[in-house]
Each structure stands twice: as C-alpha cells, then as structure tokens.
Amino acid sequence: MGTAMDNEAAFARALLDAEAAVPAGIEGREGGGAERRFAVYRNNVHANLVDVLAGRFPVSAKLVGDAFFRAMARIYVAKTPPDSAVLLRYGGGFADFVAGFPPAAPVPYLADVARLEWAWHGAYHAADAEPLPQEALAALVPRAERLALTLHPSLRLVRSNYPLVTIWERAARDGGDEPVRLPAGGEDALVLRPALEVEVRRLPEGGAVFIQALQDGARLPEAAASASAAALAFDLAASLAGLMRSGAVVGTSGSA
C-alpha cells in the first residue's frame, strides 16, 4: 500500500484508462474480484462527461450523428478531463480538439459550429446586464467622436470561413443530416443574451471587426475605421443601429 494520495492517483488513472487493471486493494463482494464493479465507475465517468458534451454541443452532434459524436467526445474526455467541479466550464477546448481530429475532416465546418455552440453556452451563463434602450442612440450620435461603448457581458463573436450561421440554423431546424446547398463565403456570428434568451445573428461585412474593436475598448471612430479597412461596404450607421436594436450596448464612456 502506498500513501493515500498514491492510491487515489492509481484509482483515478484506472478510471480514465480503459486498458488499466483494477487498482490494488479494490475488492468486490466478500473480497472477490472487482473487474465488472470497477467498470461501473469507469463507465459513469466517461458516459456522464460525454453526456455533458452532447448536451453542450447538440448541433455538432446532429451534424455528424450521435454515434460519431459520442466516440469523438469520449476521446476528448480521456485526453482532457475536467479541471474543475464546475462542469459549466467544461468543453472550452472541444472545438480546437475537433479541428485537429482527422476523422472529422470531411465536415470541415464542424469545429466552427462547436465554437458557436461554446459561445452560446457562455452567453447563456454570462453575467446579466440591462441593455440601453434603443432611443438612447439618438442622444449618442452628437457625441460619437469621443464615445466608447460598453457591450453586454454575454456578447460573443464567432468568425468563420464557412456560412456558419446558415449551417447552424438549418441543422438546428432540420436535423442536419440531409445534404444542403450552402451559400458561398464565410459568415460571422454575433451571440448575445440581452435578457433570458440567447440570440444568434449573422453580422454584416465588417461587423465583427467593428464589434471586436469596441470590445477591446476602441472609441467609435477608431472602431469604424478598423471595420472600413477590413470591409469597404462597412456601414457605421447601420451597424450601430443594429447593435442598439439587439440589446448589445449596456453603457457608454468617454462622453464627458
């Protein structure tokens, strides 16, 4: 017998490694063998965490089918078990794992869908804040030169080289397994929970650069300049109105 920490480590290792033997000192009924009994724990650990991921990435699971998703998730669980008892935080590395998981390569946009779902999950649990009313926009315009905007804590951006929002909407609606003709070009998604419902919107050209700059603390003219440099068609008035309308703005600064 080693120390308590050693024994616990051996138990934990055998849980995560399906090939490992039952740890020394673990018994079944009346001192009997414990293979099958220990397997209950091993199965619990994996199945419960795979369930967590399946619940957190439901559209990804639809796109590849439940069996493929669970097999993929099980590999992720074994490689990256949770590092916190707060399972709400689990799965942040899943999209990157999917991006580097060769069997998923035939669905090249899968990792971006997983990113969008992680953003959705983050928005759902993010801090609450009261959006500024739309009418506040008119009052902001005269001060726009010096204004920085405080965006909603739930706001997340997901940029994609694929028509991500279209893929996500269709899969969420239709089940995702029938082949669809996708529009060409990428789409950027705005994920936001102004009140209790998480909303996913398709951003216009330059919109993501604009919002990212605002999130980084840029004032309106600088953010607009970045967006215009990234996309000639960027329309400041429309983007600003869209942000206000969606409830993305919770405050302003630099107006004094």
185 Ramachandran zone, left/alpha/beta (phi>0; psi -120 to 50): left
Query: Looking up tokens 């928005």, which residue turns up?
Result: 123
Please identify which residue in 45, 54, 78, 231 interacts with another protein, judged by CB under 8 A: 45
Mask for 114-153, x = binds another protein (CB under 8 A): ---------xxxxxx------------------------x
Stretch that binds another protein, among 33-41, 58-66, 134-142, 232-240 (CB under 8 A): 33-41
* Structure token pair of residue 71: 């097999």
Kindly tell me the sign of the dihedral angle through the C-alpha atoms of 197, 198, 202, 207. Answer: positive
When asked if residue 106 is in the footprint of another protein (CB under 8 A), the reply is no
Shortest spacing between CB 20 and another protein, in angstroms: 14
The whole-angstrom separation of Cα 111 and Cα 226 is: 27
* Structure token pair of residue 8: 């616990």
The whole-angstrom separation of Cα 111 and Cα 132 is: 34
In the range 197-256, which residues lie near another protein by CB under 8 A? none
The residues facing 157 across adjacent strands are 190
Largest CA distance in the chain: 81
When asked if residue 193 is in the footprint of another protein (CB under 8 A), the reply is yes
Please identify which residue in 52, 54, 157, 236 interacts with another protein, judged by CB under 8 A: 52
Stretch that binds another protein, among 80-88, 97-105, 178-186, 239-247 (CB under 8 A): 80-88
Please identify which residue in 17, 18, 44, 177 interacts with another protein, judged by CB under 8 A: 44
Query: Looking up tokens 């991006």, which residue turns up?
Result: 99
Strands 148-151 and 249-253: antiparallel
When asked if residue 33 is in the footprint of another protein (CB under 8 A), the reply is yes
When asked if residue 168 is in the footprint of another protein (CB under 8 A), the reply is no
SS3 (DSSP) at 157: strand
When asked if residue 37 is in the footprint of another protein (CB under 8 A), the reply is yes
- Sequence-distant (6+) residues with CB within 8 A of 7 are 1, 23, 25
Shortest spacing between CB 194 and another protein, in angstroms: 11
Shortest spacing between CB 225 and another protein, in angstroms: 33
When asked if residue 75 is in the footprint of another protein (CB under 8 A), the reply is no
Please identify which residue in 70, 76, 147, 154 interacts with another protein, judged by CB under 8 A: 154
When asked if residue 18 is in the footprint of another protein (CB under 8 A), the reply is no
The whole-angstrom separation of Cα 231 and Cα 56 is: 33
The whole-angstrom distance between residue 174's C-alpha and the CA centroid of its chain comes to 21
Q: Which residues bind another protein (CB under 8 A)?
A: 1, 3-5, 7-9, 11-12, 15-16, 25-38, 40-41, 44-45, 48-49, 52, 81-88, 123-128, 153-154, 193, 196
